[in-house]
């Protein structure tokens, strides 16, 4: 995995976390809504309580799996954020954080430093190389 792909995960992790939370909630809702309602009316087939129980257990297991996935994604996000914050040069840290975490353009970030867009691009390139030198062994 390249450094850019590694850092770009910050842009997608929030979306993936939201999907995991939604999936877990859907499974929890399904598990709590499933129940067997006994009735005095005789019908040809009746739902099997054992089958209903197994569906509820499966829904609860799927909700737990989605929650575990969300926790893994949260851990990865916090780790990448800590790695960016550990970059000592403030301009490089600002550029990496703004571009990968806040989803801003290099041009808009360059205006805030303030430097020309070309200089901002150079800072970003140097920041990415510095990040790779420091943390590359953990993800390459």
pLDDT at 44 over 70: no
**pLDDT at residue 43 in the model:** 55
* Average pLDDT rounded to a whole number, residues 41-45: 56
Question: Of all residues in the chain, what percent carry a pLDDT higher than 90?
Answer: 41
Q: What is the number of helices (H) and of strands (E) in the chain?
A: 5, 0
**pLDDT at residue 49 in the model:** 59
Comparing CA positions, the residue from 17, 22, 30, 31 lying closest to residue 69 is 17
Return d(Cα 24, Cα 18) in angstroms, integer.
Answer: 10
Between residues 130 and 41, which one has the greater pLDDT?
Answer: 130
pLDDT tier at 120 (50, 70, 90 boundaries)?
Answer: very high
């Amino acid at each position: 995995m390249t450094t850019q792909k590694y850092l770009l995960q910050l842009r997608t992790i929030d979306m993936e976390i939201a999907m995991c939370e939604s999936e877990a909630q859907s499974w929890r809702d399904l598990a709590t809504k499933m129940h067997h309602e006994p009735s005095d009316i005789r019908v040809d087939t009746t739902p099997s309580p054992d089958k209903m129980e197994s569906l509820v257990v499966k829904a609860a297991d799927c909700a737990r799996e989605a929650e575990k996935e969300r926790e893994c994604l949260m851990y990865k996000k916090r780790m990448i954020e800590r790695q960016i914050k550990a970059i000592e040069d403030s301009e490089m840290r600002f550029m990496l954080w703004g571009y990968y975490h806040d989803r801003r353009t290099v041009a808009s970030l360059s205006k805030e430093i303030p430097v020309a867009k070309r200089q901002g691009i150079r800072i970003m390139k140097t920041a990415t190389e510095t990040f790779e030198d420091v943390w590359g062994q953990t993800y390459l």
